[in-house]
Amino acid sequence: MSLDEKNPAYHPESLPLPGDTRPAKSSSALKSFRKAILPIFLLTQAFYYFGLDETIGLTGRGDGGRGLDAVGAEADGGLCYQHEPLWPKTDFYKELDKVWKSDAFKDQAVEWLGGAVRVETESYDGMDEVGKDGRWHKFQKFHDYLEKSYPLVHKHLKLDKVNTYGLVFEWTGSDSSLKPLLLTGHQDVVPVEKSTYDAWIHPPFSGHYDGTYIWGRGSIDDKSGTIGIMSAVESLLRANKDYTPKRTIVLAFGMDEEVSGFKGAAHIAKYLEDTYTPKFGSSPFGLLVDEGGGYTKAYGKPIAALGTGEKGYGDVRMTVKTLGGHSSVPPDHTGIGLLSLLVAHLEANPHKANLTRSNPFYSTLTCAAEYAPDVNTVLRKLIKASAKSNKALGLLETFLDSRGEYRSLVKTTQAVDLIGGGIKVNALPETAFAVINHRINVASSTEELRQRITSIVEEKAKELNLTLSSFGKDVLTHSGVGHVELTEAFDKWLEPSPLTPTTKSTNGWKVLSGTIKGAYASRLKESDDDDEDDEIITSPSIMTGNTDTKYYWNLTDQIYRYNHLTEGDMYTYSGIHSVNEALKAVAFVNNVRFFGGLMLNVDSAEL
């Protein structure tokens, strides 16, 4: 996922949910919940003390006498409905799964992923158009590697290149009436700082296999996904060279996701719309799976968190303009000083939390409350009560907002990331600026962000006797000591994504959830001592950053962000985008099995 946009799947800005497999960005949200039991317990006891327990339903007698056991029971299967595990019905699947679990296939998988890591595909901010910037040429080497490594894919699938280096493969199905499955990933990786090379246990582009881990940049983000998909198709064709899926399968791999996807996924999206909309109408794909969350064990239960929504995005540039002059006779506040006061005022007025039941993170909480055995009893009751009680929901919202590891999931965040001003030490600055990054709550919008920041800055600008213009409109026009201007900093503003439906009757959720459960229950285990629970819970979750799916909203309403990986499968020294990125070979094999199983399962599914 793009470091500059999420700065979140592989991103610092994407707080890992249960199963979000990007370790060093943050600890798992549900794991962190363990630390929060005492505050919520004491807060809830205060509600008991003041006699509000019945009002919010914590004793099971509030909300019209409905007990906790009945909360959500009638709502499309109740809290966090779970589908049955799903295994492919294809004749050759059992034999194929034996191959996938063999030592010989693991060796092959190691070579596939390790070889891909050895082809350097770094993308950089500010890269010029394809054809003008020579740094794009490295992706041809990656294409050559894919063609050599996956001969059956290139023989049986139709390949189109979009904007030269974007890849779109079509595995044409036998039933042309069925909407295709779309699997996406990206070829590029974040750059490796030359100064950090010595900190790597194994060189960053070595693809070294030490018997457990495959080392190198991209071994997780996102060559584990892109190469996992390619490996699944190749192994399916190896098992049955005459196999043709019933449902068309499309693979799409951009080459600049880490720098926002302008040259890759943006072009691929248009190609896919132009190609498949005439055949299938609007929303031409039945299901889309891209990189994103993963699974983890939280509160005594394995939980897979599928990204079913992403927060919005907006960078605001705040510019202060004042008269210059000599530093020997300064005003009370220079332009930089005025800017600092405005920034401090913004930070003193953070966005308010707004936890809605449609927020995918709320679904994550309800799944934990319903199925994880080690969730604190009081917390479990509070979460369950919140399904029917707005007061309980408000209490839960207040608690989450009080916890640093959770507040970003229930509110719009703001972070002052860039600042500048002044040109000489003895000259008063005439211009100073700051750029404030926002990740917009799923319950909010870009327009609400504009209105709110205008209101907050206006308060302080009046106090400081500054005029103000905001997003092209004059707000304060009196004569002042200087002028403040709010503008969109970069061409990256993005509304929160549409939320993927995940009801009991949602076909995409059913087949994907069932495939995850089947793949996990039959997973290749690292050792005979692996006695982990073979049942996994699937849950919606929220992405605080943005993936390439931001360009694919028109292709389907069934968009899921998920890689079948877990935090324990990764070397978590410093994180996905830092030194020592590495993935266990066993985990990569299981990822291949997941993608292969999904490709087979969609043939017998309604989408």
* Tens-digit pLDDT profile for residues 374-419: 998 998 999 999 999 999 999 999 999 998 888 999 999 999 999 9
User: In this structure, are 161 and 192 located in the same domain?
Assistant: yes
- pLDDT surpassing 60 at residue 2: no
Q: Residue 345 belongs to a domain with what CATH number?
A: 3.30.70.360
User: In this structure, are 316 and 266 located in the same domain?
Assistant: no
pLDDT in tens, 71-105: 333 345 567 999 999 999 999 999 999 999 999 99
209 domain-assigned: yes
Mean pLDDT of 533-546: 94
Name the pairing type of β-strands 582-584 and 249-254: unpaired
Identify the three-state secondary structure at position 528.
Answer: coil
Q: What is the 3-state secondary structure of 430-443?
A: CEEEEEEEEEECCC
Contact 339, 346 (CB under 8 A): no
User: In this structure, are 270 and 330 located in the same domain?
Assistant: no
Q: Residue 195 belongs to a domain with what CATH number?
A: 3.40.630.10
User: In this structure, are 170 and 253 located in the same domain?
Assistant: yes
User: In this structure, are 261 and 154 located in the same domain?
Assistant: yes
Contact 228, 591 (CB under 8 A): yes
Residue of 5, 13, 188, 485 marked active site: 188
pLDDT value for 491 = 82
Listed residues 451, 472, 488: the one ending a domain: 488
222 domain-assigned: yes
Mean pLDDT of 112-120: 98
pLDDT in tens, 144-183: 999 999 999 999 999 999 999 999 999 999 999 999 999 9
- pLDDT surpassing 90 at residue 234: yes
Q: Which residues are annotated as a binding site?
A: 186, 221, 258, 290, 577
323 domain-assigned: yes
Closest-CA residue to 539 (of 376, 365, 292): 365
User: In this structure, are 273 and 422 located in the same domain?
Assistant: no
Contact 227, 117 (CB under 8 A): no
Containing 470, the helix (H) or strand (E) segment is strand 466-470
pLDDT value for 570 = 79
pLDDT value for 39 = 55
- pLDDT surpassing 90 at residue 451: yes
User: In this structure, are 429 and 578 located in the same domain?
Assistant: no
pLDDT value for 575 = 62
User: In this structure, are 452 and 553 located in the same domain?
Assistant: no
- pLDDT surpassing 60 at residue 193: yes
Residue the block writes with tokens 């500059």: 4
The letter for the amino acid at 50 is F
Torsion of CA 492, 495, 496, 497, to 10 degrees: -90
319 domain-assigned: yes
346 domain-assigned: yes
575 domain-assigned: yes
- pLDDT surpassing 60 at residue 122: yes
Mean pLDDT of 255-279: 98
Query: What confidence tier does 594 reach under pLDDT thresholds 50, 70, 90?
Result: very high
Number of domains observed in the structure of the chain: 2
- pLDDT surpassing 80 at residue 6: no
| Alpha helices per DSSP H over 182-303 | 223-239, 265-280
Query: What confidence tier does 571 reach under pLDDT thresholds 50, 70, 90?
Result: confident
- pLDDT surpassing 60 at residue 35: no
User: In this structure, are 282 and 324 located in the same domain?
Assistant: no
Long-range contacts of 197-206 (CB under 8 A, 24+ apart): 199/579, 199/580, 200/579, 200/580, 201/573, 201/580, 201/582, 202/582, 204/579, 204/581, 205/117, 205/118, 205/120, 206/117, 206/118
The CA distance from 59 to 66, in Å, is 10
Query: What confidence tier does 479 reach under pLDDT thresholds 50, 70, 90?
Result: confident
Mean pLDDT of 4-30: 36
- pLDDT surpassing 70 at residue 444: yes
The CA distance from 235 to 98, in Å, is 12
- pLDDT surpassing 90 at residue 554: yes
Residue of 13, 63, 222, 257 marked active site: 257
Contact 432, 422 (CB under 8 A): yes
104 domain-assigned: yes
Mean pLDDT of 32-44: 50
Q: Which residues are annotated as a binding site for Zn(2+)?
A: 186, 221, 258, 290, 577
User: In this structure, are 224 and 344 located in the same domain?
Assistant: no
Is 257 designated active site? Answer: yes
User: In this structure, are 216 and 270 located in the same domain?
Assistant: yes
**213: Cα within 13 Å, side-chain hemisphere:** 20
Listed residues 439, 460, 488: the one ending a domain: 488
The CA distance from 268 to 550, in Å, is 12
- pLDDT surpassing 50 at residue 534: yes
Percent of the chain with pLDDT over 90: 80
pLDDT value for 492 = 86
Query: What confidence tier does 561 reach under pLDDT thresholds 50, 70, 90?
Result: very high
Listed residues 472, 488, 504: the one ending a domain: 488
Of the candidate ranges 20-24, 128-132, 403-407, 482-486, the one whose mean pLDDT is the lowest = 20-24
130 domain-assigned: no
CA–centroid distance for 120 within its chain: 24
Kindly report the average pLDDT of the chain as a whole number.
Answer: 89
pLDDT value for 29 = 47
pLDDT value for 19 = 34
| Domain assignment of residue 179, given as a range | 93-122+138-293+548-604
Contact 576, 308 (CB under 8 A): no
The letter for the amino acid at 438 is H
Closest-CA residue to 581 (of 59, 88, 222, 186): 222
pLDDT value for 350 = 97
Closest-CA residue to 294 (of 25, 43, 88): 25
Residue the block writes with tokens 């703001």: 414
Is 315 designated active site? Answer: no
User: In this structure, are 482 and 563 located in the same domain?
Assistant: no
- Please state, as a whole number, how many other Cβ atoms lie within 10 Å of the Cβ of residue 14: 31
pLDDT value for 403 = 87
- pLDDT surpassing 50 at residue 330: yes
